Amino acid sequence: MLRYIIHRLLLVIPVFIGVSLIAFTIMKLTPGDPILNVLGMQPTGDPSFIAAMRSELGLDDPIYIQYGKFLWRVIQGDLGRSIGSNKPVILLVSEALPKTLLLVVSSMLVAMAIGIPVGVVSSVKQRSALDHVTRMGSIFAASLPDFWLGLMLMMVFSYYLGLTPISGYGRPEHIILPAATLGIGLAGLITRLTRSSMLEVIRQDYIRAAKAKGMSERGVIFKHALRNALIPIVTVLGLQFGFLLAGAFFVEWVFAWPGIGRLAVQAIQQRDYPVVLGALLVTSIAYVLINIVVDIIYSYIDPRVQYE
C-alpha cells in the first residue's frame, strides 16, 4: 500500500505541470491587461507608468520565461503575489480553501443522508409505486442547475419565509442553503447509483445463502448487501468531491460564499494571473489526493482489493 501511495503521489508532478501549462497559456491568450484592470485606467493612460508596473511584475517577459519563473517559485513554496491586492497568493488560497472544503463536505453529507437510504429503500421495493416515485425524483433532482436551484431556495426560504440568511458567511445558518443547493443534485445521482448497485448485489448467491440461514432482511441488507454495494458509490463520491471542489463556484457566487471558486472567478475577471494559477494548482492537487484517499478506502470496504 505504501509503495502504491508513493507512486500515486509522484503523479501529482505531471498533473501539476500539465494543468499549470494549459491554464497559463489560456490566461495569456485571454484579451485584457491586468495592469489596466487593477488601476482602472484606459489604454490612453500614462504609458511610462504602465510599462514600469508591467516590468516590475515581470509581465513584459516572454511567456516561456514567465512560466519558468512561476515553476521556480512553486518549487520554493511561493505562489507569488496577487496583482490586485499585492497579498501573497498562498495566503489568499489558504483563507478560501477551508471555506470551500466546509461547503463541499456539508453538501456531500446532505447528499449521502438523502441518497443512500432512499436508494436502498428503492432497491428493496423494486417496481413498487415508491420505487417509481424515487426514480423520477432522483432524475429531476440530478437535472436541476445549481445556480437556478440556489436562487429558488433563496427566494423561498430567505425572501418569503425568512428562515435563513440570503447570503454571506460567518454563522452556522449561512451554510444551510449553499449545502442544500449542492447536495440535492448530488443526492439524485447517489440515489440512482445506490439503487442500481444494490439491485446487482442482492441477486448474488451469498445474499440468498444469508437469507436461507435465517438472517433478518435488515441484517442482510445493511451487513452484507450495502457494504459490497458501496465500492461504486465511494468511487463516485470521490470523483464528485473533486468536481465540487473545483465546480462549486456557481453556488459560491450566488450565495456570496468566500471560497476558492469565487476567488478564482474574481481573479479571472481582473486578469490576476498568480491568483488564478494558485487556485488551479491547489484544486488540481487536492483532486489527485482525494482520489488516492478513495483508493485507500477501497481496501477497508473490501479486503479483497489489493494494490501492487
For position 1, what pLDDT does the model report?
A: 67
Quote the pTM value.
0.80
145 residue type, one letter: P
Q: What is the pLDDT of residues 74-95, one digit of tens each?
A: 888 788 888 877 888 889 988 9
Q: What is the pLDDT of residues 8-31, one digit of tens each?
A: 778 778 877 888 888 778 777 777
For position 307, what pLDDT does the model report?
A: 52
Domains in the chain, CATH or no CATH each:
98-267 (1.10.3720.10)
117 closest CA partner among 127, 130, 104: 130
For position 265, what pLDDT does the model report?
A: 85
For position 43, what pLDDT does the model report?
A: 53
For position 271, what pLDDT does the model report?
A: 79
For position 39, what pLDDT does the model report?
A: 64
Positions in the chain short of pLDDT 70: 1, 32-33, 36-46, 50, 56-57, 246-247, 299, 301-308
For position 291, what pLDDT does the model report?
A: 78
For position 30, what pLDDT does the model report?
A: 73
For position 301, what pLDDT does the model report?
A: 66
